[in-house]
Structure 1
Amino acid sequence: MNVEEYREYCISKKGVTESFPFDETTLVFKVMGKMFALCGLEHVPLRVNLKCDPERAIELREQHEGIIEGWHMSKKHWNTVYLNQISKELTLDLIDHSYDLVVSKLTKKLKAELEAL
């Protein structure tokens, strides 16, 4: 998966915005204002940070060389994923998982706003 495919998939999800809040090369995706994915556009190969359930994060790191503890993120709740080392299907699944985790933690008010979009 390349950066264009990654971006298109993330931005296609309901309630998602993209921005560069940290610098001009770190692309961040948020759902209802809460971050669920980010990547440094200058990194080759492309790597992305995705939120993950802590138990699943450990399993994924053990099963895939291309998945490590979140770079500059909470090591418990974030993974860094090298997109050239895992399948596109797994990448899409991990993006969905990250998005769903963040949505599940939204307030009732934000969930209702998201549902209304």
Structure 2
Amino acid sequence: MAKKKSDGVNKSQAIRDYYAANPKAKPMEVAEAMKAQGINVTAQFVSTVKSNSKKSKTTRGRASAKKSVAKKPAKRATRASKATSEVSLDSLLNAKKLVEEMGGVEGARNALSVLEQLMD
């Protein structure tokens, strides 16, 4: 993991604060204003921060709005032959759904391990 610089300045927050005071400012203008304050940022970084600040905070991370959407019935996947290493797209999509329902890959592995023990 990369180390954080401890210069005490949160560049993203400074950009958000500037936009709060100047909502019609262009990214280049904000970058120049930040440089005048001693904060070195590019117009692209300013644009990214502005875009990310517009996104709904409830759709980030695990707590997403997907939970309120009605689920479609899952299609039955055709089993891939054990002799081949190919996996069908339907099988991969169903595996993805399983992983999401189990809270991640590790949860799905645990469930499959228990299922394997039950089937023996």
Higher helix content, 1 or 2: 2
Greater RCO, CA 8 A, separation 6+: 1
Would you call these one fold, judging by a TM-score over 0.5?
A: no
Scaled by the length of structure 2, what TM-score is found?
0.23
Q: TM-score, normalised by structure 1?
A: 0.24
Structure (1 or 2) with the larger CA radius of gyration: 2
